[in-house]
Structure 1
């Protein structure tokens, strides 16, 4: 659990100043589960220049509890949790000093939302709470008061957890990482036997049902992150209590792990997997013919039963492709599905369209351009394989794509002689295609360590050998 803290003070450093307001928001890694706030009598004067910032003056805190009167409640909220704040060292130093005055040494793991934001949301000019909340669409009610700022920080932290694809939260906690706490129903020997290799891992319940599927470059390390609570995909304790066994499948590299994870999630629909649990069909470019015989293009969501010329993981990539290629081929924007108007397209009024939309370009001339577009799509969908590292030093992994569709992956060794393209099928583990797979294979990051070989290049090499 995380204790998100914000304080208001009588000055800028803890040695000579005191807390005059504190708010603590308990966060389980997904959402806020408890809130606390209180004015605190600092037992000293609040300078006017500080009152001008946070609005708290001597009169407001005169009847407020002193820190020692709230210390037990505050300690119960903080104990065992990770101390989170925006510029965490400032808030932590004041709270720690307040407990030291009572003879207690506060020792908590810390996370700074400023530092995390720089890593997870890079490129902002300022990482002040006000600026980053504005950038992330987070509304701050009662700015510069402890509770208002703490609630905003909690919403920011929720977004940080959701977007922490590179485990920056875990890395920040690594220095103070404790021994891995194995769930009560899982034997430590099972955890200790996990490989430190790329692959897919499975959490199984008491009935040996898969309740979660994940992928990792290092299976053991990633599984330990779940138990350490660095990124809580679910309520930690409820999730861990159901884990009775951990199984795994070695893939040799991260790309195969991504592909296999996607398939396993869709095959098993584990209870605690939220990512990829959607049926977004992606987008495709379709071809149809109007009443005058003009062939037209249209970008839309992929529909079962309709043959597409080209498919895309999202609308933006599909539109970019359609716009670029249709312009190069001088296809009327209206007939390419780029523009819509009752009459001629806008480009025609600028003399940039050859007039299919105005009946000036013949059906045959226009349809020749559409045929060129179709041929371009066919070339883009050429058969290819991606070759990368296998599960051991003597093995290679490959991913097979034919006519733009994912066929599966496989492994072969140095002793396996592949003389022709069809022989890859002897080592192929077939898997169904899906738009999510297309997104993975379209990602430069996911495929960066793979060598792409097109079928025609492969065949030419074999002919010349």
Structure 2
């Protein structure tokens, strides 16, 4: 029995994508015997290029079921089935990641129609689903939507099965997940590592630090290094002699410590992380009509941004969210280039700042509210997060808009005197990387963090 499926996602960083739509057809080798098709609320923003590609936007998904609400149905329809997909490694990884977030070990055998097509229909100019089905005369409607792509994959799979009359090629192509083995010398290192958040240091035989990283589960991350097949993992496996660590409790503290330690120690295998970890910033200026404009630009050494981003794509995604939340104008946020009114004005979702119709002060008040929320320039504040155990909290200190350092305090002692608090922290550099880490982390975790002015 086969579960032929297609998944559309939000796009974004590897293993941080969310499912926006899923279609599954249960196929017995002759006919479809069951099906499941649904939009899914990914509980995160969709990347703009994905919206353009699929036509699925955040509004469409507002009332869609969340993944945990459809998870049981997915388990049932794929039970005792081989998962079939066009580039199955992608769809299977996405599914496993979503189930992992729920704490459920989702495991199935898989079959990839890209690999099968290359074996059974060689010398095709392209093996992308669109071009391949077109060349084979298979009808494909709703390209880049889960249902349309899944139906086309069903038809393609039927054709492939007919070409493999003895079913030997298909049987040989079925993949079963195999757990990578760890060398016994590396197992001994892993045994004593914690499953908690912190910074880890990988040392060679001479005791030198060759790699520094951070993780929300140190033991799991080191295990990944020791079983990985990429070039960095292989170098670590060849050189590692011991691993030391420092628990932080807070991911923010771990990120800041990792950045500082890499700059200080310059480990052999951290070359890529020595460079700045952000590339774009959000800047403001006032136009000739008095409206505050926002622009995403390449990070500038001379101008301080409101907030920073690792790439333009994440910056644009964030601005699309801010546009809706603060009712801002597409034109004045740089998201649409036009000499007249913006698109949203035409559908009555912009109040007319783009054509000087909205009151300048009213518009600027909303922009200022956004800036105040996401910039800590000239502010004195404490960012309070998890500690290393239940009896303490971590604190990151911002004074006059500058990052001063971080530390931990016992919950039994309420720190109200700034001078006492500053004496408890470890001073750290107020460099651009640390500013970016703090702004990005606060932006993503604002609802959970406690931010106290002082």
State the TM-score, normalized to the length of structure 1.
0.50
- Name the structure 1 match of 2:111: 129
Q: Which residue of 1 aligns with 2:203?
A: 204
1:427 CA displacement: 1.9
Inter-partner Cα distance in structure 2 for 1:178 and 1:348: 59
Q: Secondary structure at the match of 2:231?
A: coil
Task: Note if 1:369 corresponds to 2:346.
Answer: no
User: Unaligned 5+ residue runs, structure 2?
Assistant: 1-28, 30-80, 83-88, 101-105, 129-176
Cross-structure match for 1:386 = 384
* CA separation of 1:401 and 1:200: change in aligned 2, threshold 3 A: same
Give how far 1:413 is off: 2.7
SS in structure 1 at match of 2:449: strand
Asked if the contact 1:285/1:298 (under 8 Å) is kept, the reply is yes
Matches for 1:306-455 after TM superposition, within 5 Å? 306-312=303-309, 314-327=314-327, 332-347=329-344, 357-358=354-355, 365-381=359-375, 383-390=381-388, 394-400=391-397, 407-414=404-411, 416-421=413-418, 423-431=420-428, 432=430, 433-444=434-445, 452-455=449-452
Summarize the Cα distance change of 1:276–1:290 in structure 2 as closer, same or farther, 3 Å threshold: same
Q: Does the 8 Å CA contact 1:295/1:367 hold for their aligned counterparts? A: no
Q: Structure 1 residue 212: deviation in Å?
A: 1.0
CA RMSD of aligned residues (A): 4.9
User: CA shift at 1:410, angstroms?
Assistant: 0.9
Q: For residue 268 of structure 2, give the secondary structure of its aligned residue in structure 1.
A: coil
Q: 1:305 to 1:230 in 2, by over 3 A?
A: same
The count of residues paired between Structure 1 and Structure 2 equals 302
Give per-residue Cα distances to partners, 1:398-431, cap 9 Å, x unaligned.
Answer: 3345688755431123564512355432222233
Match of 2:214 in 1: 215
> Could you tell me how far 1:211 is from its partner in structure 2?
1.4
Alpha-carbon offset, residue 117 of structure 1:
6.6
SS at match of 1:181: helix
Residue 180 of structure 1 corresponds to 184
Q: Is the 8 A contact 1:258 1:440 kept in 2?
A: no
Larger Rg: 1
1:236–1:371 CA distance, 2 compared to 1 (3 A) = closer
3-state secondary structure, aligned to 1:419: coil
Distance 2:92 2:316 in 1: 32
Unaligned stretches of 5+ residues in structure 1: 1-48, 50-88, 91-111, 134-138, 153-170, 460-465
Distance, in Å, in 1 between the alignment partners of 2:191 and 2:351 is 69
* 1-structure distance, mates of 2:322, 2:374: 13
CA 1:405–1:320 in 2, change beyond 3 Å: closer, same or farther? Answer: farther
Q: Is the 1:117–1:127 contact (alpha carbons within 8 Å) kept by the matching residues of 2?
A: no
CA drift of 1:395 comes to: 3.9
The structure-2 alpha-carbon separation of the partners of 1:386 and 1:235, relative to structure 1 and needing over 3 Å to count, comes to closer
